[in-house]
A and B are shown apart, each in its own frame.
Chain A
Amino acid sequence: MKPAPFAYERPRDLNAALSMLAASNGSAKIIAGGQSLGPMLNLRLVQPELIVDISGLAELKRAEVSGSELVLGALVTHADIEDGRTADVTRGAMRGVAANIAYRAVRNRGTIGGSLSHADPAADWISALAALGARVTLRSLAGARTLAIEAFIVGALESALRAGEIVEAVHVPARSASGHWGYAKSCRKTGEFAHALGAVLIDPAAASARVVIGAIDTAPIVVTDAAALFGGRITADYKQRFDAGAANALLAKAGIGDAAQRHIHVSVLKRAVQEASA
C-alpha cells in the first residue's frame, strides 16, 4: 500500500497555492491534515499528478469572531476547536462535536476545511455545520464565493468545489440564547465513522428548527424549516411532538429502502431531539 508517484509542492501563501491549482488543470489534490487523503493515496484510490500541501498557509489558520459570526480558517484542526483554542459562538456545540470526531490522533491533524472538502457523508462537520446554519467561502484565482453548507455538499464524497477552488473559511452564525442544540450519532465503536447521525438546532422562542439527518449513503438530509417533523410548528414541548413517522418518510424519500436502517436513523435523531430538550 504505497502511493503512485506524485509531485509535491508546499506553497507559502494562498495565491501561490491557487496558482498551482489553476496550472494543474484538475490533476492536483490539496492536502492539509491528510487524515482521509493519506489512506486514499496509499490505497491508490486517487493518483494525482501533484499534491499541494497547504499546511504552511498562515492565512488559513485564523479564527476570529466577526460581527455575530465566527470565521474559521480551513486549516483550523478539530483539536483546536475541542481544546477551546478557537473562539466559540455556538455555546459549546462545536466543541462537543469536535471532541467526538474519530480519535485524538486524527483530531490533532485533521482540519475543518479538509473534512468539508472530502465530503464524507458519515463525517461530523458536514452535518453539524449544516444544522448550525454555517456557510463556507470558496476561493480561486477568479475570486471568492460563499455557499451554505447544504449547498456545498452535493453527494457522497462530492462537493461544489470546482477545479482550482479551495475551501478558505467557514462562517458559523452565533447560536441564540434560546437555541437548543442536540447532536447524536451511533458508531459501531469509539472513533469509528457514524452509521447514523442526527443534529438539531431548535429555537422554540423563534419557532424555528433546523434538523439534519447524516451518515446516509449520500449528502445529509438538511431540513432548514423542520416544523413538519414536530406536528407543523415548533413549540416548547417539541420533544413530545417529534414525529418519528415524518422522519421515517423523509428517509424513505431519500432512497433508504432498508427499514432497520431507517429505524436506526430515526431513533438517533430522536436522541438528538431529546438532548436538545434536556
Chain B
Amino acid sequence: MQENAALRNEREFPHGKAGQGVGARLPRKEDDRLMRGRGQYVGDVRLAGLQDVAFVRSPLAHARIHGIHVPECHRGSVFTAADLVGIKPIRAVSGLPGFKISEQPVLATGKVRQVGELVAMCLAPTRAEAEDIASSVTLDLEELPAVYDMLKAREPGSALVHEHWGDNVFLETNYEVDISAALDAPIKVTREISTARQCMSPLEGRGVVATFDRRLDQLTLHSAAQMPHITRSGLAECLGMEEGQIRVISPDVGGGFGHKGILLPEEVCLSWLTMRCGHPVRWLEDRREHLVASSNCREHHYKITVYADRDGGLRGIDCEATVDSGAYSSYPFSACLEAAQVASILPGPYKMPAYRCRTFSVATNKCPILPYRGVARTGVCFALELMLDLVAAEAGLEPGEVRLRNLVRPEQMPFDNITRKHFDSGDYPEAMRRALAAIDIDAIRARQKQGETDGRRIGVGVSIYCEQAAHGTSVYSGWGIPMVPGHEQASARLTPDGGLELRVGVHSHGQGMETTLAQVAHEILGVDVANIRIVLGDTAMTPYSTGTWGSRSMVMAGGAVATACRELGERARRIGAKLLQHDPASVVLQNGEVRGVNGSVSLKAIAHTWYRRPQDLPPDVDPGGLEVTQGYKPLRDSGTFSYAAHAAIVAVDPDIGEVEILDYVIVEDGGVLVNPLVVDGQIYGGLAQGIGTVLYEEMPFDASGQPLATTLADYLLPGPTEVPAARLDHMETPSPYTQFGVKGIGEGGAIAPPAAIANAVNDALRPLGVELMQSPITPHRIVAAVLAARAAERSAA
C-alpha cells in the first residue's frame, strides 16, 4: 500500500505547508516512475513493422546542390525533396513590420544553408543499416562563401543566406524614449559584450515515431515535444492535411528547455514517409545531430552605453543588440523573438528616464536559433549587470549599492517600466539586501584586503533580473507569429469510484506537473493526490493549448485546473445536498466531502450516484455531470513577474585560469509556490545551466561555417562537481492577477548566474586591470586577458 503522501510530506519536509494542497513540499508523484527507469519516452515506443530512418545531412554550411547520387542497390530506400510532392516548406512568419520570410524546405532544395541540413532520408530495418545507406549517398555540392559571423553578415557585400532578401537581416527594430536626456550624464560607460552560441542539451534528444491508422484515417506522430497541439497545426500546414487527421502524442519527455518547442523538418519528413511506406517509421536524434544540426541558442552581441549620475543613479541606456538567428525562422516562435525581445526587456527592474535600443535578427549559415530557458533574458541580464558593475566602479560604490539605488521600489508596485512592462508585484531591493547579507559582502571585502596564500584571487558578484512569465494574448498578438496564447483550458472528471482525472494541453518535461496540478486540484476538491491522474501530451485526449513554454504552465494550466475543479465541486455540492436532503445553500464542499448540519457525503459517493445510481439524483441536476472543461486567463494577461537576486563568490587562478565557485546564494520570489520542493529543483537545474553558459558551453564555428564542437568532449556541459550547493532563500509576494497568487518561475534559475559569476570573476581580477565581457569565461580567455593587462602595464611604465 502506498504511504499517505501528506504524512510523508510532513515527515520529510516539516517546514513546508502541511497537507497536499498549494504550498506543500510534496515529493513528485511521477518520480516513482521516472527515477526507477520506467518512464516511456519516444525511444521506448515499440510498434510492429517499425523501421528506422537516418538522414543524409549537408556537410557544408552553404552550397548549391547539383546532384544527389544514390547507389542503384539503395534506390527505393532513399528519399529526397523530389519525392516529397505537395509538401510545403516550414514558414514561421512574424507580423512585425519589415520581417523577411524564410522558407525551410523539409529536405533541401536548390541550396543548403547550414551544416546538418536535411538532404535525403534513408530507411532500413535498423538505424545502423540506415546509416550505412546514408553514408553511401554522395552529394555534388558547389560550396558558397559561408555567412558565419553575424556582425560581418550585416555589412554590405556579405554573402547572402537568402539571396532575394538583398541583405541578411530577418528584422531590425528600433525603440527609443528620449535618449538625448541622458547624454550629459557625468558617468558614461561603453562596452561590447557577447554570449556564445550554445546547444540546449536535454538528456533526451528529439525523436519521432510516425504511423498511420487506416481505420481512423489518422496520422499518429509520437514526438518528444513541448507543444503537441502547435506541432499538429504546423504539421497540418506542411502536409496539407486536416488537423483532425493528425494526432500528436508526446510521451514522457526528458527535458525540453525550448529545444522541443519547434516543428521539426524531421517530423514532417517522417509523417510523409509513414504514409508513403505504410509502416511505422522512427528517427531518434543522436548527440552529434543535436550538437551540429538541430538548433542553437543564446548567441548575442551588445554594443551598449550606460549613462549614470555620480551617485550611481541611472540616467539611461543606449544599446545596439545583434542576435545570430541562423539560417531559418523556426515554427512557431520565428527568427526574431529573441532579438526583438531584447529591446523590451533590457531595462528590467530598473528605473531610468531615457532609453534607446536597436536590434538586429541576423541570418547566418548556422542552424536556427531557438528560445532557450530564459530566452533573451540571460543575455540582457549578462549585458546590463556587467555594465552596472562598471558604473559602480566609476562611481566608487559597491555594486550592490548601485542596484539598490535604481531598482523599482515595492511601494511603486504595480509598476510600468520604461518599455511599458507591467510589473505585477514584488520587493526587488529586499531580495538584493538579503542576498548581500547572506553572501556577507563585508567579510569578503576584508578577506580581499588580506589576499590569499595560494596565489588565487577572490571576487564577489551579484545580479538581479525579472522573469516575465505566462504572458498572454495582449503580449503575443503584437508579434504576429503562428501562435497566440488565449484562454488555457483544463478538463476535470470524477471517475465512478471517486478518483479525479485532469486533462491539460500543456506538457511536463521535468517540471513535475503531474504533482503540482494534482496539488491544485486537491486544494479545491480535497481529493487525495494519489487518486488524481494527469493526462497530458496527447492532442486526442487534451484540450488545445499552446503548450509548455515561457514559464506559463503553473499559472495557466494551474489556473485552468482550479477553475474547472471549482465548477466540478459546485456540481458535486448540489448532488450532495440532495443526497443529504439539505437545501443546497446550506451545504459546503470541504476535504473531499459535502457537509451539511446533519452529516456529510463523500465525493466518492456522489460520483457513484451520478454514474451508477442516477435514480437518486436531484431532478434539476446539471446534465453536464461530473465532467467539466473550463478556460482560464489571469485578471491581466501581461504576465507575472518573478525575480531573484543572485550572489556568488569565486576564486580565480590568474595563471592557470581556473575558476572555483566558493559560495552561491539565491534569494527568489516566485509569488505563492504551489510546491516549494519542485521550485527548488527548478532553481538548482537552472543554476547548472547558467554555470554552463558562463564557464563552459560554446559552439564555435570556423570561417567556412563548420561547427567545431561536434561531441561532448568538445562541447562541455557542467557536471555535478561543477555546480555548487547553492543556498536558497524564498520571499513570497503573491501576484494580484493569478489563482492563488502564483507566478511562473521555470526559467529564472538560468537567467542570473552568468552575470553574477562573471561579475565575481571581474571583481577578483579588476586590481590586475582585467575585464572579461564575453561568455563563456574560459581558462584561456582569463589567462590571455591577464597577460594582456600585464603587457599594458609594462608598456605604460
Contact = CB atoms under 8 A, between A and B. Distances in A.
Partners in one complex: yes
Interface stretch (B125-133, B588-596, B758-766): B125-133
B286 A1 contact: yes
A162 interface: no
B718 interface: yes
Contacts, number: 65
Given A2-B131, A259-B787, A264 B656 contact: yes
Nearest to A184: B656
A3 to B, nearest CB: 7
Interface in B712-766: 713, 716, 718-719, 721-722
A105 to B, nearest CB: 12
A269 B438 CA distance: 38
B311 interface: no
Contacts of B584: none
A245 interface: no
Contact of A191 (B126, B131, B719, B787): B719
Nearest to B126: A2
A43 B787 CA distance: 38
Contacts of A87: none
A1 B57 CA distance: 13
- In the A-B complex, the 7 residue pairs with the smallest Cβ-Cβ separation, listed nearest first, are A2-B128, A267-B655, A260-B784, A190-B721, A260-B783, A1-B286, A267-B656
A186 B787 contact: no
B721 A189 contact: yes
Given A2-B131, A43-B288, A260-B780, A186 B718 contact: no
A192 B709 CA distance: 14
A4 B132 CA distance: 6
B16 interface: no
Contacts of B257: none
Contact of A260 (B132, B719, B787): B787
A5 interface: yes
A5 B653 CA distance: 48
16 contacts: A2-B131, A3-B128, A4-B135, A43-B288, A186-B656, A186-B657, A188-B696, A188-B778, A189-B716, A189-B719, A189-B722, A190-B719, A259-B784, A259-B787, A260-B783, A264-B779
A200 interface: no
Contact of B658 (A186, A193, A259): A186
Contact of B132 (A5, A43, A189, A258): A5
Given A186-B779, A188-B716, A188-B778, A1 B287 contact: yes
Contacts of A4: 131-132, 135
Nearest to B658: A186
Interface residues of A, number: 27
Interface in A97-111: none
Contacts of B127: 2
Contact of A264 (B128, B696, B716, B783): B783
Contacts of A186: 656-658, 779
A271 B655 CA distance: 11
Interface string B122-149: 0000111001100100000000000000
B174 interface: no
A264 B128 CA distance: 42
Contact of A263 (B658, B696, B787): B787
A43 B710 CA distance: 10
A43 B657 CA distance: 32
A268 interface: yes
B711 interface: yes
Nearest to B654: A267
Contacts of A44: 131, 135
Interface of A: 1-5, 39, 43-44, 186, 188-193, 195-196, 258-261, 263-264, 267-268, 270-271
A263 B716 contact: no
A149 B716 CA distance: 30
Contacts of B657: 186, 264
A39 B722 CA distance: 24
Interface string B274-290: 00000000000011100
A195 B719 contact: no
B728 to A, nearest CB: 24
Contacts of A193: 713
A13 B126 CA distance: 34
A61 to B, nearest CB: 28
A138 B711 CA distance: 32
Contacts of B132: 4-5
B716 A192 contact: yes
Contacts of A2: 126-128, 131
Contact of A190 (B128, B655, B722): B722
A262 B739 CA distance: 59
A264 B655 contact: yes
Interface in B641-655: 653, 655
Given A5-B132, A189-B719, A189-B721, A261 B780 contact: yes
Interface in B771-797: 778-780, 783-784, 787
A194 to B, nearest CB: 11
B718 A189 contact: yes
Nearest to A4: B132
A1 B291 CA distance: 13
B716 A43 contact: no
Given A261-B780, A264-B783, A1 B288 contact: yes
A43 B721 CA distance: 28
A51 B634 CA distance: 63
Given A43-B288, A44-B135, A186-B658, 15 more contacts: A2-B126, A4-B132, A5-B132, A188-B778, A189-B716, A189-B719, A190-B721, A190-B722, A192-B716, A193-B713, A258-B780, A260-B780, A260-B787, A263-B655, A270-B655
A43 B132 CA distance: 12
A261 B721 CA distance: 25
Contact of B780 (A39, A192, A264): A264
B711 A195 contact: no
A125 B722 CA distance: 25
Contacts of A261: 780
B556 to A, nearest CB: 37
Contacts of A192: 713, 716
A189 B288 contact: no
A126 B661 CA distance: 31
A125 to B, nearest CB: 18
A196 B711 contact: no
A188 B127 CA distance: 34
A259 B711 CA distance: 27
B711 A43 contact: yes
Nearest to B776: A188
Nearest to B127: A2
A205 B775 CA distance: 48
Most buried by B among A1, A186, A258: A1
A189 B714 CA distance: 12
B59 to A, nearest CB: 13
Nearest to A191: B719
B697 to A, nearest CB: 11
B240 to A, nearest CB: 34
A122 to B, nearest CB: 10
Nearest to B718: A189
Nearest to B657: A264
Contacts of B655: 263-264, 267, 270
A110 B779 CA distance: 28
A263 B783 contact: yes
B198 to A, nearest CB: 15
Nearest to A39: B711
A200 B664 CA distance: 36
Contacts of A195: 779
Contacts of B787: 259-260, 263
Nearest to A244: B655
Nearest to B790: A263
A264 B783 CA distance: 7
Nearest to B286: A1
Contacts of B784: 259-260
Contacts of B658: 186
Nearest to A265: B656
